[in-house]
A and B are shown apart, each in its own frame.
Chain A
Amino acid sequence: MGKGSGLKRAAPSRSAECIVRLLLPPVYREQVLGDLRERYESGFQYFFDALSAIPCVLSSRIRRTSDPAVLLMEALVLYLSFFATAWYAAPASFFYDDNGPVRLALPTAVALLAFVLVDAYADPAKRWPLKPVLQAALAMGFAFVSQASLFKDPELAVPFQVMLVGSAMSLLLISAIRMLFTGSSGRPMA
């Protein structure tokens, strides 16, 4: 809605636009950045507009890209991979005395959350055959980082060997699931 076509309009700073661009899922960048620019009046108003728009479009994108059936499969594969590895590699006390089953749920939950976000932020215009493997590797990377952040509280952490072998198993199996269940839209769907 132009205010005086000959006048130079006020515009948000490049750094503010860069941050908003980074936080928006790629499919919304063009429309939302344009709308925010058009509505721009002050930095404060731009900040609140962005703050209102980003969580909403992200949740909408997650609703569109996440398939509950695929997520459930991925959760089972992740948890069972860590569980099976711990069964063979960890001492029995890990399960009976150290809350092992609960501790294994932590990297599973982090990796699952990472999968949801990776799908939401994936650009449907960019497709290549190894994308599911890269997405799975990224999610497992997040799980490792979450474990690294627990170094101060080792009672909640999963043993490194279990993390390593469980992540490798998950990576293989989830890459296969994602390759099998990727629909024509490029997102995993059952």
Chain B
Amino acid sequence: MAKVRKPSAAESAGQFEQLVLAAILSLRDNAYGVTIHAKVEELSRPKTVALGAVYVTLDRMEDKGFVSSWLSDPTDERGGRAKRCYRLEALGERALEESAATAKRFLESIQAALGKFGRKRRWGREAV
């Protein structure tokens, strides 16, 4: 297996990019504009997401080498037009893993700090 280089600081994924990467990862072979947008909206609820923001992010991540794209066969429901499908590349997977690890450390530090100050609140539960 080819060695995957570590993404540089410039290549690290921003918050919205992380959402799009996670959407592509979960959609697997069905990742294209409409489905990615729907999944990103689901992940970022209650915020709404503009369709155009997804296109811009996909282009930027393609330039960074996080994802690759190709045109599928045209379908009738799209008026005979093709879908641009996206796939996560190794660099994108690595960036997503790093983001998840950072988020985990962030969550742990918050939980530790809240515990230290004797707060009863725990993530995912109502404050007591």
**A interface residues (Cβ-Cβ under 8 A, vs B):** 1-2, 9, 11, 17, 28, 30-35, 37-39, 49, 52-57, 59-60, 63-64
In the assembled complex, the Cα of A24 lies from the Cα of B68 at a distance in Å of 21
Interfacial chain A residues near B82, Cβ < 8 Å: 30-31, 34
Given A31-B33, A31-B84, does the pair A60, B77 have CB atoms closer than 8 Å?
no
Question: How many A-B contacts are there with CB distance less than 8 Å?
Answer: 76
Proximity string of chain B (52-91) to chain A, C-beta cutoff 8 Å, 1 when within and 0 when not: 1101100110010000000100110111011110000000
Report the nearest A residue to B35, measured CB to CB.
Answer: A1
CB distance A53 to B55 under 8 Å?
A: yes
CB distance A52 to B84 under 8 Å?
A: no
Interfacial chain B residues near A56, Cβ < 8 Å: 50-53, 55-56
**Nearest 6 A/B pairs, CB to CB:** A56-B52, A34-B81, A34-B78, A31-B84, A35-B33, A52-B50
CB distance B55 to A38 under 8 Å?
A: no
**B interface residues (Cβ-Cβ under 8 A, vs A):** 32-35, 37-38, 50-53, 55-56, 59-60, 63, 71, 74-75, 77-79, 81-84
In the assembled complex, the Cα of A1 lies from the Cα of B83 at a distance in Å of 12
CB distance B78 to A32 under 8 Å?
A: no
Report the nearest B residue to A3, measured CB to CB.
Answer: B77
CB distance B50 to A38 under 8 Å?
A: no
Interfacial chain B residues near A28, Cβ < 8 Å: 55
CB distance A60 to B60 under 8 Å?
A: yes
CB distance B78 to A59 under 8 Å?
A: no
CB distance B34 to A39 under 8 Å?
A: yes
Interfacial chain B residues near A1, Cβ < 8 Å: 34-35, 38
CB distance B77 to A2 under 8 Å?
A: yes
